[in-house]
Amino acid sequence: MQPLSVTLGDRSYPIHIGVGLLDDAQRYAPYVASRSVAVVTNKIVASLYLERVQRALEQAGARVVPVLIEDGERAKAWGTLDRVIDALLAARCGRDSLILALGGGVVGDLAGFAAAVFQRGIGFIQVPTTLLAQVDSSVGGKTAINHVRGKNMVGAFHQPLAVIADVATLDTLPDRELRAGIAEVIKHGFVLDPQFVDWLEANIGKLLARDRTALSHAVRRSCELKAQVVAADERETGLRAILNFGHTFGHAIEAGLGYGEWLHGEAVAAGMVMAAELSVRTGTLRREDADRVAALIAHAGLPVRGPKLPIEQYLELMQVDKKVSGGRLRFILLEGLGRATLRGDLDPRLVRESIAAAVQ
């Protein structure tokens, strides 16, 4: 199948989606021939796929330097970043070397950021192995690590040279992570595509049952929608912010519980319910549409309520959101299913009420 394309001038790149791409040396060859390629991954993913990827890269003419990082959100930290940089320097990787991110969103965010800053920037390839990474984080060039004061507070826009999404890797994904990925698929529907929302409502069972045709369609449509937004607003000066639907609340949930307690997609799921609630209270969304938001999230087996943290803590944690402008919180609201808007002039009382209405 033809790859999708993220259209960004001389930084345009293809997204390959299919079954069995992981082993395909030809897929890697245009980028890696006679280069050093540092494959950044974690122990779990390495045990499943590293050998196969390494063999394909070597067939394509690369010198492979495996770099293992710890598992989980806590890997998005200065210490891990320094260890990746150190491993590249120890292996004599230069400015012409590449980083290949093999894993989920954490690996992609961290490895992508390492590529952004190693010797002021080298190329990298995303090989996402989780649904969340395939439908969202591997596309669009956002890379980052976390700071104790907030998620993704340190990072860069650094586009990959290619995204290679092998949907066969989803076979090994734990159920909980599959559902967390579905949260971002659903998000793309809510903010951009009403027909896709209809499709998701009809096919959520197939996705949960890992039907490969359904999963391939979901990955492809999500990437298409995201690629269009990124092409229009790479550095999130406007439109791209709508992809953060549910994320302002979601980041507060993740930070409030400690990163990794809830998966990112789980926090975003509850965050989307809060944002839909806020949309209703602000008058932009009908109650029955907000009910459809909550119902689809519930059918996906995702949380429709946030953890029971004090409302003040939610508000405090939301203040460090990157969408804060001139000290004012800004929110992505729905104006209907498949239509989103960025709003910065909201009554703080409505924000409190919306959180209160959707905590456990």
Contact residues toward a second copy (CB under 8 A) are 34, 78, 82, 85-86, 89-90, 92, 94-96, 113, 116-121, 142-144, 147-150, 152-157, 235, 319-320, 322-327
CB 118 to a second copy: min, Å: 7
Between β-strands 339-343 and 331-336, what pairing exists: parallel, antiparallel or unpaired?
A: antiparallel
Q: Which residue's CB is nearer to a second copy, number 5 or number 78?
A: 78
Residue 134 CB, shortest distance to a second copy, in Å, is 22
Could you give phi then psi for residue 247, rounded to 5 degrees?
-85, -30
Minimum distance of a second copy from residue 90's CB (angstroms): 7
Active site residues: 120, 142, 184, 226, 236, 240, 244, 247, 251, 264
Residue 338 near residue 243 (C-beta atoms within 8 A): no
Residue with tokens 């033809």, as numbered in its chain: 2
CA 24 centroid distance within chain: 24
First to last CA, the chain: 45
Question: What number of residues does the chain have?
Answer: 360
* Residue for token pair 């492809």: 220
Cα–Cα distance between 351 and 187 in angstroms, integer?
20
Burial string for 218-254 (b: 16+ CB within 10 Å, else e) reads bbbbbbbbbbebbbeebebeeebbbbbbbbbbbbbbb
Q: With respect to a second copy, which residue has the nearer C-beta, 157 or 199?
A: 157
Between 79 and 258, name the residue whose CB sits nearer to a second copy. Answer: 79
Work out how close the CB of 224 gets to a second copy at its nearest, in angstroms, rounded to a whole number.
24
Distance (Å, whole) CA 251 – CA 255: 6
d(CA 204, CA 210): 10
For 20, which DSSP code? S
**Distance set, CA 223 to CA 53, 293, 331 (Å):** 23, 21, 23
CB of 268 or CB of 317, closer to a second copy: 317
**Closest separation between CB of residue 36 and a second copy, Å?**
9
142 vs 217, beta carbon nearer a second copy? 142
Pairing of strands 4-6, 123-128: unpaired
Per-residue tokens: 109: 């965010």
Tokens of 260: 């990794």
* Residue closer to a second copy (CB basis): 90 or 295: 90
In the complex, minimum distance from the CB of residue 85 to a second copy, in angstroms, rounded to a whole number: 6
